[in-house]
Structure 1
Amino acid sequence: MANDAGAAGQIAERVGMATRLFDDGKTAEAETIFASLHAVTKTNAAVNRHLGVLRAMRGDYAGAIPFLEDATLVQADDALAHNVLSVCRFETGDHEAALASADAAIALRRGFGEAWNSRGNALNRLGRSAEALEAFKAASQALPGDAEIHVNISNALRDLGRQANALKSIDRAIALNPRIAEAHTNRGNLLQDLGEHARAVRAYDTALKLDPDSVDAHWNRSLCNLLMGKFAEGWAEYEWRWKRSSPETRPRAWPMPLWLGREDLWGRTILLHGEQGLGDCLQFIRYAPTIARLGARVVVEAYAPLTELFAGVEGAAQVVTRGEALPAADFHCPLMSLPLALGDAGGAPVGFEPYLRAPAARTAAWAARLGPAQGLRIGLVCSGSATHGKDKARSLSLAEVAGRLAPGPAYHLLQKEVSAADRAVVAARDDLTAWDGKIADFADTAALTQAMDLVISVDTSVAHLAGALGRPTWILVGFDPDWRWRLKTMDTAWYPTAKLYRQPARGDWSGALEAVRRDLATVVAAGR
């Protein structure tokens, strides 16, 4: 008994020593002692808590979790351990568990500002922005001088579509701590949302003075410059996309070097590979003939839905589907790096000619399926992929569009995905046909689109396809447009046969749809 008591006393003494070292910032020495203690007493709550905190401090969140779980199992009233466990679970992607740990900490200490912040972070990642905002507000009440919490409040407000209030919150964060680069980047994003693009660039400039390697600041500044038509600056900085954590811009390992315009391509083979969305590939495959004219043999790697369509692109000697074995090549270049490589500072190649065409067999098959035209044929695309990050800002219901359609033409839904609500609209109209069940890939969509006299589309891949085919195209563009649609203009250099209908205010499609209704009525009345 005495020996046990003596051993316990020695352990307690060493825990106290290590704790003092930890509190004094001597973390390496503290961790050495805590690790040696853990080897002989794996259930000591203080030892486990400190080992978990120390691992979390150096970014080993996964390694910290078992220690913190053991600490809270032994000492369930340790609010600090619960909160650090929440942070670690959040950083490893287990957001539901992070929320539970934050709630456990708050239940123990209602005024625990850091735990309220952890709760807000978890809720935000779970898509529960309104609840996240309330949690961040509670965190701010407990920690009114914490600038990072005001950054989080701003993010939640932006997610809720309250940009003006979000800007006030980010300005408050900057007033509290003007040296947070992320806050200036977020300010730039909000100013872009609000249509203040020149001010947005200045905010990104400030962020980059504080953190020259900020990927988000470089990336967003590139998009803003492209949107404003500053293509030389925009394309150069667009290469920062490869440093982003987004899966759509994850770099791939290539055995051949990247070509960005410096090396002579005559007699060489270059692999042009698709990236990001299908619309991006449809837009930038236009450069393949230019590369071929430099004397290169052009191999194109395409996403499966685009392979057959791209096989007909001028200058493409070979088209392979992503995932298939690739031929040997001297260089590679992502499609969206081609403007930079070719020194295209104009925003689109000069002298546009339609650069896509549907395969002849598909064209014939769709001609037989559609039968003889009895009047105008108008293609419709009301929504894009629901997985797109900004789909809610660009997509409409078919009912919203159908109410503006003039009688007379035959309307054809060109999109491959049709919701149950949209299908009900199709069923209620004799002049509207959905073709989703017959569209296998973009070769089918191209053949169907070629048969249209006019295409009316939201900002999605079929809008690019129709423009690339040279079909008359009306594109509905959101208030905060994608960079390629520029600002205020009704036309676009990318697709001379396209006309843009812009939202006058965020979320308000009424003005754009009314303009479409008027123009469509004129077209139908003229019979063209």
Structure 2
Amino acid sequence: QPIFFHNLGLVLKDRGDLEGAIRVYQQVVRANPKDSEAYNNLGNVLQENKRFEESITAYRKAIEINSNFADAHSNLGVALVKQERFEEGIVAYRKAIETDSNFADAYYNLGNALQKKGDVRDAIQAYHRVLKINPNYAEAYNNLGVLAQEEGQMEDALQYYQCAIKVNPNYAEAHRHYGMALLLTGDFLHGWKEHEWRWRRHNISYQKKNFPQPWWDGSILERKTILVWTEQGVGDEIMFASMLDDLLQMNANIMVECEPRLVPLLQRSFSQIQFFPRGNPSNPKLLNTSIDYQIPVGSLGQWLRQDESCFRKSQPSYLLACSDKVSKLRKKYQALAKEKLLIGISWKSANQRVGKIKSTSLKNWTTILSQPNCYFINLQYGDVDAEIKQYTSGSNTSIYIDKEINSLMSLDDFTAQVSALDLIISTSNTTVHVAGALGKDVWTLVPYISDWKWMLTREDTPWYPTMRIFRQSKIGDWEGVFLRVNQALKTAQDTHGY
């Protein structure tokens, strides 16, 4: 009976037996080649199994049988967009909408595709159409908030996030976006609270550790032991490490699990703290139930950075580079530079989600790299030798590549390299966090709407007292940023100040 096999396929899919569900639906379509519903269900399971080409074939077969099958058109669009075939996906969504003008999910999917493609206005129209059909569609409010935030319309963004949360109080993604927006605007007290929702999100990109200890609730830590475990990227680990000294001031015994490459650097910088390389499984010592509390490092802010007055501006640095390495590198660079200013540069981010808008091209740097009294040293992590060679061969500029430093392999060596320089100029990436934590003069180049760490409009940040922020005045305007940096660099050379 077809209905039995349809239901069996759904049961197997819900149990996670995707291969079993695929076999069932394949049997159904072999027995009944005109069963468009079975082809659609087969496409869904294939798509969930990341067999996108096969799922596309199944959806197209369903549509061939029934050209008015709105769900199949919409599902086809989802599969195409997941392969970044945006134009084809948009066509499929529009077909679904032609078939069913009140198909809210198809409008939402259309908005998603348009948003990813960069068609902001059309995406906004699609999301508003969703809300006209279904005023309780929380995901549409959330995405409108994201788009408003990207356009710098922060009041609208906050309202959209609030609407999403009102419709669905347990919508973790909206809470997280709301928290990031609040932190961006400087509302630390409420922002950190919303930030805690990050652990309830689906498809979280970093791992929540399952240590046995209770989470710290901000209570007194005198003679207590607390385990702090790091999360997210290396730059975030370095920035949040600025709060470790606050825990020391509470007379706590502190144990930290962190990125293995950071252990030598952090152990030197915080000699009273025990550091352990992050592993899976974790070091057995960290599983001891006699440890009083645990907390992820990104959650410390709710207790230690509730407003800007909590930041320790009297301590401009907290990382200590190896002094012998610093001395050796500085002597080498000074000999090469012949009394020129030693400037380290980095121009892009490896962040897959937002790296594109944070990154620049070396061509943008030409006016800066042409400054006569400056010696430029590459701080860009990754294999960029060919990129630098291609750029410098067609210009009168040069960028020194220190072959002895591998920033991805040894963060301790990289930290010494940064510490050996006079000034660091970089887009928002790990380099600026290292420089800021060392108390080096660092100029950070950020997009119009930046990561929450750099807040809005201001040229400074409470996280790093020695940092100066150069921000786009409008979306995508790196040219204006580099004009201001170039002028600031000329002024700095005249006044010997950064």
Task: Tell me if TM exceeds 0.5.
Answer: yes
- 2:300 equivalent to 1:338: yes
- 2:273 equivalent to 1:310: no
Q: Which AA in structure 2 matches 1:425?
A: Y
Q: What is the root-mean-square deviation of aligned Cα atoms in Å?
A: 2.3
Give the C-alpha shift of residue 101 in structure 1: 1.9
Q: Which has the higher contact order (CA 8 A, sep 6+)?
A: 2
Give the C-alpha shift of residue 62 in structure 1: 5.8
Contact 1:358 1:446 in 2 (8 A): yes
- 2:426 equivalent to 1:460: no
3-state DSSP class of the match of 1:236?
A: helix
The corresponding residue for 2:83 is: 126
1:196 to 1:301, Cα distance in 2 relative to 1, 3 A = same
Contact 1:289 1:315 in 2 (8 A): no
Aligned mates of 2:15, 2:217 — CA distance in 1: 38
Equivalent pairs, count:
483
Give the C-alpha shift of residue 63 in structure 1: 5.0
Aligned mates of 2:306, 2:403 — CA distance in 1: 37
Give the C-alpha shift of residue 520 in structure 1: 2.0
1:106 to 1:480, Cα distance in 2 relative to 1, 3 A = farther
- 2:263 equivalent to 1:294: no
Give the C-alpha shift of residue 361 in structure 1: 3.5
Aligned mates of 1:455, 1:64 — CA distance in 2: 56
Relative to the length of structure 1, the TM-score reads 0.86
1:461 to 1:213, Cα distance in 2 relative to 1, 3 A = same
The corresponding residue for 1:407 is: 372
- 2:443 equivalent to 1:474: yes
Range with greater deviation from structure 2 (336-345 or 406-415) = 336-345
Contact 2:305 2:311 in 1 (8 A): no
Q: Aligned ranges for residues 216-295 of structure 1 at < 5 Å?
A: 216-262=173-219, 264-295=220-251
The corresponding residue for 2:478 is: 509
- 2:148 equivalent to 1:191: yes
The corresponding residue for 1:431 is: 398
3-state DSSP class of the match of 1:407?
A: coil
Q: Which AA in structure 1 matches 2:129?
A: R
Measured against aligned partners, the alpha-carbon deviations of 1:222-256 in whole angstroms (never above 9, x if no partner) come to 11111111111100111111112234343211022
Q: Which AA in structure 2 matches 1:289?
A: D
Q: Which AA in structure 2 matches 1:505?
A: K
3-state DSSP class of the match of 1:290?
A: helix
Contact 2:327 2:420 in 1 (8 A): no
3-state DSSP class of the match of 1:248?
A: coil
Aligned mates of 1:305, 1:63 — CA distance in 2: 43
Aligned mates of 1:55, 1:144 — CA distance in 2: 32
Q: How many percent identity over aligned positions? A: 29
Aligned mates of 1:305, 1:209 — CA distance in 2: 42
Range with greater deviation from structure 2 (50-59 or 301-310) = 50-59
Measured against aligned partners, the alpha-carbon deviations of 1:138-190 in whole angstroms (never above 9, x if no partner) come to 22122211111111111111111222221111111101110111111122112
Q: Aligned ranges for residues 44-443 of structure 1 at < 5 Å?
A: 47-53=4-10, 64-262=21-219, 264-314=220-270, 316-323=272-279, 325-327=283-285, 328=288, 329-342=291-304, 344-346=306-308, 349-353=311-315, 354-372=317-335, 374-385=339-350, 387-405=351-369, 406-419=371-384, 420-426=386-392, 431-435=398-402, 438-439=405-406, 440-443=409-412
Contact 2:44 2:75 in 1 (8 A): yes
The corresponding residue for 1:35 is: none
Contact 1:85 1:101 in 2 (8 A): yes
Aligned mates of 1:361, 1:130 — CA distance in 2: 56
Aligned mates of 2:272, 2:390 — CA distance in 1: 42
3-state DSSP class of the match of 1:178?
A: coil
Contact 2:39 2:58 in 1 (8 A): yes
Give the C-alpha shift of residue 276 in structure 1: 0.3
Range with greater deviation from structure 2 (82-91 or 433-442) = 433-442
1:348 to 1:242, Cα distance in 2 relative to 1, 3 A = same
The corresponding residue for 1:19 is: none
Structure 1 or 2, whichever has the larger Rg, is 1
3-state DSSP class of the match of 1:438?
A: coil
Q: Which AA in structure 1 matches 2:81?
A: N
Contact 1:244 1:250 in 2 (8 A): no
